[in-house]
A and B are shown apart, each in its own frame.
Chain A
Amino acid sequence: MNDRDMNELEVRRVVKAYGSGAPVLDGLDFAVPGGALAAVLGPSGCGKTTLLRVIAGFLKADAGTVTVAGRLLGGPGVHLPPERRRIGIVPQEGALFPHLSVARNVAFGLSDLDRSARRVRVGEMLDLVGLPGYGDRMPHELSGGQQQRVALARALAPRPHLVLLDEPFSALDSGLRGAVRAEVRAALRESGATGLLVTHDQQEALSTADVVAVLRDGRVAQCATPEELYHRPVDPWLASFVGDAVLVPGTADKDVATTVLGRIPLAAAPAGRREGLVLLRPEQLRLAEPEAADAEGVVTDVRFFGHDALVTVTVVGLDEPVDIRTTTPLRVEQGQTVGVRLTGEATLHPRTA
């Protein structure tokens, strides 16, 4: 797997509509570099699953092309059936074949190999996902997380160019999810295959993927690294979709914005835009002594989460109260007058958005 750069997914101007309705995918553009794990994130009904099925070949796009590792799989006049695409899939809940043992599940895509080569490959794959010696088990004898790892081993066994993971962790209970996610990510990385993870869980996308593409109305609204996406969202909708957002009116002067809450540097200063909404994250707002702060307000609500808390403050001069994330133990209570300071960088967006 040295030719990592060869393993690249390119989706160009893909359109897909069901019947005569509005298109579910509306000229979607998207690319994943070789060896990376990308996430497709979006609210339900945004076309995530449709995109996945178009890439895998279960659906035929109305227009546009799908290229994997330089090979045109779908496009005008071309539609390779799923069995000839060399794309592995890991569905929700694993979907292991219930009538086959773990070893025969993993070997299902290895019909080209002879018996001994197949056995070797199955062993390698089970080692990779941390389940050596599980070959003779039946799927129902495994836990949910183990099933998911076997499903990954099965998808990786025929050395696919690309592995599609369709909400693979959503069926696991929350305690287990994080661990399985980390294991799957490590195994995928070790195999060198390019991965595409479809999810509606922004935490999962941000914490698991190298690149995240947010889908909205059948298009990619933004495709960036998790950090870029979180701190430099292209519009307020995106900002709210990937996390909690605080929007306050502000005026930009060069690369510094001035707001009621104080002055803050802008991450990307759009030329010529003077007035707008400054986008902040609740953890960029800090509680302070009233006399040491740029703004002052009254605590109207406190939501305690354990590791941190959200404090809602009604600030003089702002129509909407703002949320401030603060570490615990709490030093404030409802009705108290507090000061607010800003840290980090913000982005500026037009008011109409």
Chain B
Amino acid sequence: MTAPERSAPARRDPRPAGAQAPAGRGRAVGRPSLILIAPAVLAAALAVLPLGYLGVRALEHGPAFAWDVIADSRTGELLLRSLGLTAVVVAACLLIGISLAWLTVRTALPGARAWSVLVTLPLAVPSYVTAFTWLSAVPSLAGFTGSATALTLASFPYVYLPVAAALRGTDPGHEEVARSLGHGPLRTFLRVTLPQLRPAAAGGGLLVALYVLSDFGAVSLMRYDTFTRGIYTSYRASFDRTPAAALSAVLVVMTVLLVAAETRTRGRGGYARTGTGTARRAVPAALGRLKPLALAWCGAVVALAVGFPLATLGYWLAAGTSATWDPATLTTTALTTLGVAAAGAALTALLALPVGVIAARHRGGLAHLLEQAAYAGHAVPGITVALALVFFAVRYARPLYQETPLLICAYAVLFLPVAVAATRAAVLQAPPVLDDVARSLGRTPLGVLREVTLPLAAPGVAAGAALTFVVCMKELPATLLLRPTGMDTLATRLWTETGTGSFAAAAPYAAALILLAAVPSYLLGRHRT
């Protein structure tokens, strides 16, 4: 699983059940128009199809057989390895993320602004690229250590970002009140500041857990057998694919539990924020004698997470010759990657549009159901979506098996949550009262959508499409399983070359991937500011 798609789940507004009178303001009358519902139902159906089919397939040889697979000692071992890796990475990410957040936001750390940008850069690098750089430099890291290192350095920004935001958002007045009531700086931090950070830290930690549990690229390159790698091996090794389906079902259950937990902390996190508008910035704490230590810590993290991968990549690029890699193949692969990612982003954005509009503008059972269904991909690791689509295509849509359209569909299922969240947020930006005014001036609901809502939401929808484009480009496991024979994306090529130890041959693909993904990310950053 690649990076930022996990970061954009449904942030829903709290809608107390009984208090409908004022909240009812601005909501459209009655049910959404059929012209919206029909495509939204199609999108939702596509999103839940793999999950449903996975269940069917896992139980094909009867529940007893599925249970045998699940109860197998090998499964237990995979489970322990996955959970162990998750626990270690989450703990490391919490330590790095919270300490860096506090240092960059609340202390007089020299160059705090520059540090705060540098430490988010790992988000742009897929976990398998990080794994590639470490493995190629220190081959003995393969296994647990390498997986934990690569995943920690790739995912700690998921803790850093929300905690830093929470630190910026907390009212320094609370801390001043605590100090005035006789608490020292440390007690104030422990009793006032830290409790306010808990929701943000917990939410970030759960995101990391989700990331680790569904990661395929890093663990497979590091040859560390977790659930995702076990599923892949089982799928490749055996003609009977029911065991792979059963294992996938277990993984889905685990991720669904995590997603549910994450949604809960999100809900509580909202209440932790106080006041409106920009909070007064706290006076930065002086670091005193600890300043060199703080700088060394930030420097070490940035060096390992950003500097080291870049340096390794540079080394292998310099070491490579035209004998080790072919520029023509690189160009073809890059163009192929751009093509499938663009198609994936376009389909995803199109499917997300009706769902996002309904989610933003309507309430009630149907709207809720459609939105939830579209978020199914959020809970399912890429490898299981790919497997489910393989099963489905082999049985019911043979001509699509190992053809590009199926791969595009997999992208849509996986990244529909990204696009729906962006569309919903963009539509919410257009105040519903504008819809009312347009209706009172003679527009039908569809006319309002065309002339008011969509023009206003267009920048946000486009940003969502750009984000989807980036995550499609970086996607690895589903592309590995579903690509047409002979077709390579930058990600699969990098994976294959690294797997055979041809590091110099892999490096150009890693560099191209980072560069191509950086352009839309850069544009997105500019769009947001």
Contacts and interface: CB of A to CB of B under 8 A. Distances in A.
Interface string A70-108: 000000000001111101110110010111000000001
Interface string B410-436: 000000000000000000000101101
A155 B29 contact: no
Nearest to B440: A89
Interface in B441-459: 441-444, 447, 452, 455-456
A265 interface: no
Say what secondary structure dominates the interface of chain A.
loop
A87 B29 CA distance: 17
A313 interface: no
Interface string A332-349: 000000000000000000
A24 interface: yes
A217 B434 CA distance: 29
Contacts of B437: 89, 91, 95, 97, 151, 154-155
Contacts of B20: 18-19
A109 B441 contact: yes
Nearest to A19: B20
B18 interface: yes
Contacts of B11: none
Chain A interface category by residue count? 20 to 34
Contacts of B21: 18, 24, 45, 50
A58 B441 contact: no
B436 A89 contact: yes
Given A95-B434, A95-B437, A111 B22 contact: no
B439 interface: yes
Given A83-B443, A91-B433, A98-B456, 8 more contacts: A53-B25, A57-B29, A58-B436, A81-B444, A83-B440, A83-B441, A89-B440, A97-B438
B314 interface: no
A56 B447 CA distance: 18
Nearest to B20: A18
Chain B interface category by residue count? 20 to 34
Contacts of A56: 436, 440
A306 to B, nearest CB: 31
A60 interface: yes
Interface centre among B437, B439, B452 (most CB of A within 10 A): B437
Interface of A: 18-19, 21, 24, 45, 49-50, 53, 56-60, 81-85, 87-89, 91-92, 95, 97-99, 108-109, 111, 151, 154-155, 158
A109 B436 contact: no
A108 B441 CA distance: 7
B52 interface: no
Contacts of B439: 57-58, 81-83
Contacts of A109: 440-442
A326 B491 CA distance: 83
B441 to A, nearest CB: 3
Nearest to A56: B440
B24 interface: yes
A87 B440 contact: yes
Nearest to A47: B21
Nearest to B456: A99
Interface in B1-44: 18, 20-22, 24-25, 29
A158 B433 contact: no
B28 to A, nearest CB: 8
A130 to B, nearest CB: 21
Interface string B45-76: 00000000000000000000000000000000
A59 B434 contact: no
Contacts of B22: 49
Contacts of A57: 29, 439
- Of all A-B residue pairs in the complex, the 4 with the closest CB atoms, nearest first, are A109-B441, A82-B439, A95-B433, A89-B440
A59 B29 contact: yes
A57 B442 CA distance: 12
Contacts of A81: 29, 439, 444
Contacts of A151: 437
B24 A59 contact: yes
Nearest to B438: A108
A54 to B, nearest CB: 11
Interface string B98-110: 0000000000000
Given A18-B24, A50-B21, A59-B24, A97 B452 contact: yes
A92 B431 CA distance: 12
